């Protein structure tokens, strides 16, 4: 699956991913100690929803547009973060994960961004001008391991690849295992697309065999049954989610499911421990 983000900015996967990132970081920030936030596949940082690539797919209509039309107050923090990069009431620009993370920074926190694609890295530097973010242009998996353990006592690594390479899932599993040996207490968030349940279950089994405790799997299936050959949803693996995050998760997930379910489908969004 090719997931070049400019084609998919603001879709349902973004709404879920960014809503959960906000809740996760805020749960960690209940303690005053500094956090290091690392985004290994940062992308461009900011996306034009009226641009040719976003308009070609029109996926924002089924994501951020639905989230803005929904009245549930549990989505208020997400909507406020999107409004922060827009001048008007309706979103014309969509913030990537780097922008969401930058908005959450406290003075003591550190933000490290990485984007290997040279053109996207230049765009990212421009989009993050005025923030304290450090921007790297390296192989994502090399950087992931090189930055661990973080200089601050606590941190979060966000792994959000385009899944263009056939070995992407294998590289994630291998690097995650190595990262956990270096940084067993750290929080890691891994985004993934869902195309069919059989493929996803095989990958979950591979990750289960790593034996990592406190490994949460969040799956958002848009349709009541798999739609062959198309995007069926997305999810997040979260290693070491804090207790405060898991407590607020159930009502937030139900709010997201209700807001994003396609017409004629109820959809499904679940959170289960991969181990234990």
Q: Are 7 and 45 contacting, i.e. CB atoms less than 8 angstroms apart?
A: no
The question of whether 160 is a catalytic residue gets the answer yes
The radius of gyration computed from the CA coordinates of the chain, to the nearest angstrom, equals: 17
How many whole angstroms separate alpha carbon 254 and alpha carbon 36?
A: 29
How many whole angstroms separate alpha carbon 37 and alpha carbon 133?
A: 10
**Marked catalytic residue, from 160, 224, 226, 254:** 160
Tokens of 128: 């993050």
Neighbouring residues of 156: CB distance < 8 A, sequence distance ≥ 6: 24, 25, 28, 35, 36, 37, 38, 186, 187, 188, 189
Q: Are 233 and 257 contacting, i.e. CB atoms less than 8 angstroms apart?
A: no
The string of DSSP letters for 96-132 reads: -HHHHHHHH--TT-EEEEE--SHHHHHHHHHHTTTS-
- Strands, E assignment, the chain: 35-39, 46-48, 93-95, 110-114, 134-136, 154-159, 187-194, 215-221, 233-239, 268-273
H helices, E strands: number in the chain: 10, 10
Neighbouring residues of 85: CB distance < 8 A, sequence distance ≥ 6: 46, 93, 94, 95, 99
Tokens of 10: 């603001």
Which are the catalytic amino acids? 160
């Amino acid at each position: 699956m090719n997931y070049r983000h400019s084609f998919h900015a603001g879709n349902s996967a973004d709404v879920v991913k960014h809503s959960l990132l906000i809740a996760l970081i805020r749960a960690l920030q209940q303690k005053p100690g500094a956090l290091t936030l690392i985004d290994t596949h940062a992308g461009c940082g900011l996306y034009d929803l009226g641009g040719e690539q976003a308009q070609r797919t029109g996926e924002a209509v089924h994501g951020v547009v639905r989230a803005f039309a929904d009245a549930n107050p549990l989505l208020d923090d997400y909507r406020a973060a999107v409004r922060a990069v827009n001048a008007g009431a309706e979103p014309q620009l969509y913030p990537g994960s780097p922008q969401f993370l930058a908005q959450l920074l406290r003075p003591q926190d550190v933000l490290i961004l990485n984007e290997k694609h040279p053109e996207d890295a230049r765009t990212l530097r421009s989009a993050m001008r005025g923030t304290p973010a450090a921007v790297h242009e390296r192989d994502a998996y090399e950087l992931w391991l090189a930055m661990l353990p973080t200089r601050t006592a606590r941190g979060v690594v966000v792994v959000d690849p385009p899944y263009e390479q056939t070995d992407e899932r294998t590289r994630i599993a291998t690097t995650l295992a190595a990262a956990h040996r270096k940084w067993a207490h750290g929080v890691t968030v891994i985004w993934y697309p869902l195309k069919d349940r059989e493929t996803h279950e095989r990958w979950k089994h591979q990750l289960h065999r790593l034996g990592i405790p406190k490994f949460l799997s969040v799956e958002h299936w848009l349709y009541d049954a798999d739609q062959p050959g198309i995007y069926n949803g997305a999810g997040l693996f979260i290693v070491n989610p804090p207790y405060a995050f898991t407590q607020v998760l159930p009502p937030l997930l139900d709010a997201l499911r209700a807001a994003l379910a396609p017409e004629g489908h109820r959809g499904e969004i679940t959170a289960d421990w991969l181990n234990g």
